[in-house]
Amino acid sequence: MSIVNVNKESLSVRGGLATADIWMEVDGISFPKVQWNDFAIVIMGWWCVGLIRLLRNESAREIFDFMDGPYSVELSRTEGSAGRLSAFEGAGRRCEVASGGVVISEFAHDFVIEARILLRRCKEINWWSTDANQLDESLKILSEILIRSHGNTPPSPPVLAHSRSGARG
């Protein structure tokens, strides 16, 4: 299972705003929950910028907020390429509910794949926005960082990408 999960089939546009099911797996816990519906394009844009800062060593810790609800995930560098994911909820997002180790570049690779799948779905339904464009541009930067630092690039999803839904195994 991926760390970052997006159900591309859940992408819905209302009043120009796009939502989709998005959640993270933190130490075996689906956070905030499987098929959490949120403004996936917007928050993935925020998360992408945070990953860029981490991989450029411009920060040692980034907070990945969910827009709906009092939920966030903190990714902090622990040693070298190792990191720690911590999921928080509640008032002020201070109550830690899960945490676990992660390789930051693997998290970023996983993120790029999921974001590309979601952006491809946006094109399939003929919807695009400045938020989608910003995410797309940030993904190009993140992918280039991964290529330079790790010698590999996250693959683009196949043209007939399978549905990424909640119950994968």
pLDDT number for residue 166: 37
Q: Where are the domains of the chain?
A: 4-59+104-150
pLDDT number for residue 149: 85
pLDDT number for residue 155: 53
pLDDT number for residue 91: 80
pLDDT number for residue 19: 97
Q: For tokens 């917007």, name the residue.
A: 42
* First-to-final CA distance of the chain: 6
pLDDT number for residue 130: 96
In the chain, which stretches have pLDDT less than 70?
Answer: 1, 150-169
Q: How do residues 87-132 score in pLDDT, each as one tens digit? A: 999 888 789 999 999 999 999 999 999 999 999 999 999 999 999 9
